Amino acid sequence: MRITVPATSANVGPGFDSVGVALSKYLTIEIKEPSDKWFIKHDLGDIPSDESNLLIATALHIKSDIQPHVIEMTSDIPLARGLGSSSSVIVAGIELANQLGHLEMTADEKLAIATEIEGHPDNVAPAIFGNLVIASFVNDKVNQIVAEFPTCSFIAFIPSYELKTSDSRGVLPLELSYKEAVAASSIANVAIAGLLSGNLEVAGAAIEGDRFHEVYRQSLVKEFLPIKTLAKEMGAYATYLSGAGPTIMVLAEQDKAANMKSAIEALKFDGECFILEVDREGVRVE
């Protein structure tokens, strides 16, 4: 059995902790033979191979008496880069429990558990449903809308350094004034309306107008402003920090993506650049 979970890009500008889109990088786990104890084969660096791994810990949180198995884990989702690496493992762990425990959970039930573990739905929701997901988590209740992201390419520049979410959250203000909150919310409303109506010009301007987090986090990612300036000159719809960063995401027409990728690479920043597409399926089992 194979479980595959897509990467995710959260916030998409002003959709702070509530908006995310599934993208074409993947975590895959293959469930091998039963065993006396859990063992995860991987080459993903310094992460546990036993039941303390987030994958198994998540599954056992849901159903503690699952038969242990040997599992092979592979992933091209980089760690601590703002592409939902931990969320993909949580979603895979929930699906692992669902399959081995014969739980027959609905997608909504999976989302409720994932949000409880992660604390907010912006990454876990698109990892489960695919596509663009707008979600809220208020009074321990999750609500979500799944929609098609308008046709475009995502050009992702992934810096070579990590940026932990805790550090990225540390630069955010504890509160906003009422006036500022209203302004920030109105920008977010226009961004979502633009995406849902397929108007990427309007959506892009609103995405770049975020006042919830990017204005505070930009200084943590030195590559952000040069790439944003270059992308704008080349006709991109928008440039935003993916999740808590440091990955920088550029939205552009598909026929401009290759040239934009080459131009970003010509800046010679330390990192990798990829052209990604929207994943329309979310978590799947084969």
Q: Tell me the domain boundaries of the chain.
A: 2-147, 153-276
Distance (Å, whole) CA 68 – CA 37: 5
Is there a binding annotation on residue 262? no
114 annotated ligand binder? no
The mean pLDDT value of the chain amounts to 96
282 is in an annotated binding site: no
pLDDT tens digits, one per residue of 103-137: 999 999 999 999 999 999 999 999 999 999 999 99
Residue 203, pLDDT score = 98
Q: What is the dihedral of CA 274, 19, 152, 163, to 10 degrees?
A: -20
Q: What is the pTM of this model?
A: 0.95
Residue 39 burial by Cβ neighbours in a 10 Å radius (0-12, 13-18, 19+): middle
The fold for domain 2-147 equals: Ribosomal Protein S5; domain 2 (3.30.230)
**79 known member of a binding site:** yes
Cβ neighbours of residue 93 closer than 8 Å, sequence gap 6 or more: 54, 55, 56, 57, 58, 59, 61, 62
Check the annotation: does 84 bind a ligand.
yes
Quick: pLDDT tens for 234-279. Answer: 999 999 999 989 999 999 999 999 999 999 999 999 999 999 999 9
Q: Considering only the top CATH level, what class is 153-276? A: alpha beta
88 known member of a binding site: yes
pLDDT digits (tens, 9 = 90+) for 173-198: 999 999 999 999 999 999 999 999 99
Q: Is 9 among the annotated ligand-binding positions?
A: no
35 marked among binding-site residues: no
Give how far Cα 122 sits from Cα of 12, 18, 129, 140, 175, Å. Answer: 10, 5, 12, 15, 20
Q: How far apart are CA 126 and CA 147, in angstroms?
A: 10
Do the annotations mark residue 78 as ligand-binding?
Answer: yes
Is 80 part of any known ligand binding site? yes
The residues that bridge with 282 in the sheet, in sequence order, are: none
86 is in an annotated binding site: yes
